[in-house]
A and B are shown apart, each in its own frame.
Chain A
Amino acid sequence: MKPFEVVEAPIDAQVYSNYVLHAGAGAVTLFTGHVREWTHGVRTVYLAYEAYVPMAEKKLAEIGAEMEAKWPGVKVAIAHRIGELHISDIAVVIAVSSPHRKAAYEANEYAIERIKEVVPIWKKEIWEDGEEWLGAQKKYPDKGVDSV
């Protein structure tokens, strides 16, 4: 594995948790984002993710560097899966270790927010009666797009 990667195979979150764990770490937070069946009353059959892979991996690494600058002592690994994902599959994993728990929690949440802002990855929702790329158009005009 690479610490910041886009993958096509199913994600084994433990691999990333193990990567960030070291003797100086007193806490590891492991976030996994999953494919949800129901979003604002609309049933998802599956999701199709695609990425501009080299740039996405570069942006994930940049987010890792931002986290290390903001929370000194954290160690980070992030992976995002692309391709066809089904209900409950892991789409994204963020593992953060730190000497103390507060930084591990805060840095982990920061990472998912930044992923949603800057990493060139796109999700298409496939429903029983149609499909749509998220991001550009909004299927849920009153709620906005809220995926994880």
Chain B
Amino acid sequence: MISIQYFARLRELAGKGQETLDREQMTVQELLDWAEETYPGFGKDDIQVAVNEEYALPEDVIHSGDECAFIPPVSGG
């Protein structure tokens, strides 16, 4: 089970702040592809993924138990 969090525009698009995905492992790119398919308009090309609170690369592998978050372009300050 992989946990996923959504923020800002993506939270509104998904209609939820978090959910779990029943997978043993997948790559970051596979997670992005899944999100784009599940939530049309997700905009995966501009979104980073954090795995356990650290920015991950598309080829990084996510394992069951990891906490993932989709990070759209930040706008703090």
Majority-rule SS of A interface residues: mixed
Query: Given that A115-B77, A116-B76 are known contacts, is A122 also in contact with B53, CB under 8 Å in the complex?
Result: no
Q: Contact flags (1/0) for A116-148 with B, using CB distance below 8 Å?
A: 111111111000000001111000000001011
Q: Is the CB of A52 within 8 A of B5?
A: yes
Q: Is the CB of B71 within 8 A of A91?
A: no
Which of A50, A58, A136 has most B Cβ within 10 Å?
A: A136
Q: Within 8 Å of chain B (Cβ to Cβ): is A20? A: no
Number of contact residues on A: which range applies? 20 to 34
Query: Given that A115-B77, A136-B43 are known contacts, is A122 also in contact with B5, CB under 8 Å in the complex?
Result: no
Contact partner of B8 among A58, A135, A145, CB < 8 A? A135
The docked-state distance in angstroms from the alpha carbon of A53 to that of B20 is 19
Which of B5, B46, B77 has most A Cβ within 10 Å?
A: B77
Query: Given that A50-B7, A52-B7, A136-B43 are known contacts, is A120 also in contact with B75, CB under 8 Å in the complex?
Result: no
Q: Is the CB of B75 within 8 A of A112?
A: no
Q: Within 8 Å of chain A (Cβ to Cβ): is B16? A: no
Which residues on the B side are within 8 Å of A145 (C-beta)? 75
Q: Is the CB of A123 within 8 A of B5?
A: no
Q: Is the CB of B73 within 8 A of A136?
A: yes
Residues of B bordering A, CB below 8 Å:
5, 7-9, 11-12, 43, 46, 50, 53-55, 69, 71-77
